[in-house]
Amino acid sequence: MSLVPGRWRRLRGERGAATVVTLGIVGAVVALAAGLAAVLVGSVASQSAANAADAAALAAADAVSGAVPGEPCAIATRLAAVNGARLTSCDVSGATVLVQVAIERAAFTATASARAGPPPS
């Protein structure tokens, strides 16, 4: 069985093509992973902000009701900080408290608000 010399010349011109294709695939996977990581960071920051807002509002509502001693917005500020957030607003209206918090994670700033108190009548 003999090999045709012209066929080998043509195949030699494609040497290294698999390396280029492999580098392209690896680059695409790395870009996809970076994009997915950014989306996940934003999602986690959003959920953390919601959790911090809920906890701060509930703690402030406990202070309004007299269940815990202290000023409602000061307690909300402390509880937001414990959860890694910054209290951006606190509004006490009767027995109802409305708070807003912000959390900075990487290049993202996630905000959330929560209301706590008795149900409206």
pLDDT at residue 11, rounded to an integer: 57
Between the CA atoms of 58, 61, 67 and 71, what dihedral angle is there, to the nearest 10 degrees?
110
Report pLDDT digits (tens) over 73-90.
Answer: 999 999 999 999 999 999
Over range 18-33, report the average pLDDT: 93
Can you give the pTM of this predicted structure? Answer: 0.73
Report pLDDT digits (tens) over 47-62.
Answer: 999 999 999 999 999 9
Write phi, then psi, for 116 (nearest 5 degrees). Answer: -140, 145
Give the Å distances, CA to CA, from 24 to 15, 17, 28, 30. 16, 11, 6, 10
User: Cβ-count burial of 59 within 10 angstroms (0-12 exposed, 13-18 middle, 19+ buried)?
Assistant: buried
Both tokens of 45, joined, read 């920051």
**Domain residue spans in the chain?**
10-116
